[in-house]
Structure formats: structure tokens, C-alpha cells
A and B are shown apart, each in its own frame.
Chain A
Amino acid sequence: DGGITQSPKYLFRKEGQNVTLSCEQNLNHDAMYWYRQDPGQGLRLIYYSQIVNDFQKGDIAEGYSVSREKKESFPLTVTSAQKNPTAFYLCASSTGTPSYEQYFGPGTRLTVT
């Protein structure tokens, strides 16, 4: 089955710890994205990558980092510099053109206490 996987579904961390969220796709898509969703805020773009070894900041990149070493994988690290990391994180992918429709994974709900 082709799709996007994110693991785990729920993640709990202590304040001050870095945490990495995984995102893997087998759709052979070139572009991948990370969004953050807070209640009533819609989706906000954190980072996106159009090709391997290249990525661009989105609207709220501060306190986050990414890597794109393989086409299939786009992990997101939430660093201790992120002031309010508790949120629902969604990964998506699309064909090489960012303006086309994106397909989403099931999301990871991160809680930092």
C-alpha cells in the first residue's frame, strides 16, 4: 500500500529535550512538508523540501530542524528552543511541484510537559 507513515501517533517528552518525529513515504514523491496544527489555527508550514538534500523554511521554522538525506524520509526535530512545542504535527508529500495537492500522513500528537 502506498502512503505516508508517521510514528509514533502519540509522543510525550519533558521540557528541554529534543525530540525527532519520523515521516516516511513510499509514493515516490519528490516534495515533502511538515505542518503544525493548533486548535483553531489551521495548518502552519514549518519546513518543506522539494528534492533530496535541500529544504526551505516555512512560516514557523524557529525551534525546528529537518534533514532530507533520502527521498522517502523527512524527519523533523523539535528542539528545546521551540517555546511551545505541544501540538499536532502533520507530514505531507506531493509530486515535485509544491503548488499541487499534498497527501498527508496520520499525524503525531506531541505533548511536552
Chain B
Amino acid sequence: AQKVTQAQTEISVVEKEDVTLDCVYETRDTTYYLFWYKQPPSGELVFLIRRNSFDEQNEISGRYSWNFQKSTSSFNFTITASQVVDSAVYFCALSERNSGNTPLVFGKGTRLSVIA
């Protein structure tokens, strides 16, 4: 069965620090997708990135970067030079393709607080 673990429940950093959010997943499928979402205080989840299991290239988008390592089943998310607006709950999610296109399974989230 698929599972996503976000071991960090809450993280606090001071503005301009770098921060990495960890995500470890379990799946028996060889074809799967990994996602990150941001949930600001307003409550709506915002899609950040999708990565498929065949693409292990790291991705950078502005201050955001993602490190996908199949060898350790991890898909970590780094925010560089954090800002107060980055304060939110961040969710990692997984879906499997070979097992019938299953909907996303979410981790329990990591609450990030960036202090000015």
C-alpha cells in the first residue's frame, strides 16, 4: 500500500534562513507521481510541483527546489532565503499509475513558521 511520511510536524525558522521539508514515501509501483502542495492560512491547497518516477532530475523554481532520490524514496523540498509569506502547511503526496490510477495519498503535513 502507498504511504507518505512527513516526519517534521512543525518547523520554525528566522526569515532569510534556508529550510528543507522532508518527505519519504512507500510504494510497490514502478510508475508513480510525487507532489508538493502549500496550504496557507486561508485553507486552500496550492499545487506546487508534480514529479514522475522516471525523472530524478532536481528541479528549481525561484527560491524553491526539490530533490528526488529513488534510492532513499525521498522527495525533499527546500526553500532558500525563506520569507514570512512562506509560512504555511506543506503537504507531500503520492499517486500510483500501475495500480489503477489511484487518487493522491497525502502525508500529514509540515507546518512552517517563518519569523521576521
Residue numbers of A with Cβ under 8 A of B are 33, 40-43, 45, 48, 58, 88, 90, 92, 97-107, 109
CB–CB A41/B103 < 8 A? no
22 contacts between A and B (CB under 8 A): A33-B103, A40-B9, A40-B108, A42-B107, A42-B108, A43-B45, A43-B106, A45-B103, A90-B43, A90-B45, A99-B33, A99-B95, A99-B102, A99-B104, A101-B33, A102-B47, A102-B103, A102-B104, A104-B45, A106-B43, A106-B44, A107-B44
| Complex interface: chain B residues within 8 A of A88 (CB) | 43
Residue numbers of B with Cβ under 8 A of A are 9, 32-33, 35, 37, 42-47, 50, 91, 95-97, 101-104, 106-109
| Complex interface: chain A residues within 8 A of B46 (CB) | 104
CB–CB A99/B47 < 8 A? no
Cα–Cα distance between A62 and B44 once the two chains are bound (Å)? 24
Query: Contact partner of B108 among A41, A92, A109, CB < 8 A?
Result: A41
